[in-house]
Copies of this chain bind each other. A is one copy, B any other.
Amino acid sequence: MVDYVFMQVKSILTADQFSRQDLDLILKNTARIESLLKKHKQLNILDKYILATMFFEPSTRTRLSFESAMHRLGGRVVSAVGMQFSSMAKGETLYDTLKVMESYADICAIRHPVEGASIVASKSISIPVINAGDGAGEHPTQAILDLYTISVHKDIAGKNIQIGFVGDIKYGRTIHSLIKLLSKFNASFTFISPAEIGLPEKYKKDLNQMNIKFTETNDIEALTECDVGYITRIQEERFSDHATFDQFKDLYVINKKFLKTCRKDIIIMHPLPRLNEVSTDIDSMPQAVYFKQAEYGLYSRMTLLLYVTGLLDKLDEFS
Task: Write the residues of chain A forming the contact surface with B, with a CB cutoff of 8 angstroms.
Answer: 40-42, 47-50, 52, 57-61, 63-65, 67-68, 71-72, 76-78, 80-88, 90-92, 95-97, 99-101, 103-106, 233, 235, 272-275, 280, 291, 294-295, 297-298
Residues of chain B within 8 A (CB-CB) of A273 are 87-88, 90-92, 96-97
Contact B272–A100 (Cβ < 8 Å): yes
Partner of A104 from B41, B48, B68, B80 at Cβ < 8 Å: B68
Partner of A291 from B67, B78, B100 at Cβ < 8 Å: B100
Contact A71–B76 (Cβ < 8 Å): yes
A86 to B59, CA, bound (A): 6
Contact B99–A291 (Cβ < 8 Å): yes
Q: Which 9 A-B pairs have the closest CB atoms?
A: A92-B273, A41-B48, A103-B295, A68-B104, A87-B273, A42-B48, A100-B294, A71-B76, A58-B84
Contact B58–A274 (Cβ < 8 Å): no
A275's closest neighbor in chain B, by CB?
B91
A299 to B32, CA, bound (A): 38
Contact B50–A103 (Cβ < 8 Å): no
Decide: A58 near B71, CB < 8 A? Known: A100-B294, A294-B103.
no
Chain copies in complex: 3
A134 to B241, CA, bound (A): 38
Residues of chain B within 8 A (CB-CB) of A104 are 64-65, 67-68, 294, 298
A91's closest neighbor in chain B, by CB?
B275
Decide: A49 near B41, CB < 8 A? Known: A78-B71, A87-B273, A100-B291.
yes
- What's the nearest-Cβ distance from chain B to residue A55, in Å? 9
- What's the nearest-Cβ distance from chain B to residue A9, in Å? 15
Most interface-central of A100, A280, A298 (chain B CB within 10 A): A100
- What's the nearest-Cβ distance from chain B to residue A67, in Å? 5
Contact B48–A92 (Cβ < 8 Å): no
Residues of chain B within 8 A (CB-CB) of A99 are 291, 294
Contact B58–A83 (Cβ < 8 Å): yes
Partner of A60 from B58, B68, B84 at Cβ < 8 Å: B84
A83's closest neighbor in chain B, by CB?
B58
A299's closest neighbor in chain B, by CB?
B103
Residue pairs across A and B with Cβ atoms less than 8 A apart, 5 shown, are A60-B80, A60-B84, A60-B85, A64-B80, A90-B235
Residues of chain B within 8 A (CB-CB) of A233 are 90
- What's the nearest-Cβ distance from chain B to residue A11, in Å? 19
Partner of A101 from B52, B58, B64, B81 at Cβ < 8 Å: B64
Contact A58–B86 (Cβ < 8 Å): yes
A91 to B233, CA, bound (A): 11
Contact B96–A272 (Cβ < 8 Å): yes
Residues of chain B within 8 A (CB-CB) of A64 are 52, 78, 80, 101, 104
Known contacts A40-B48, A52-B64; 8 additional CB pairs below 8 A are: A41-B48, A58-B86, A60-B86, A64-B80, A64-B101, A87-B273, A90-B273, A92-B274
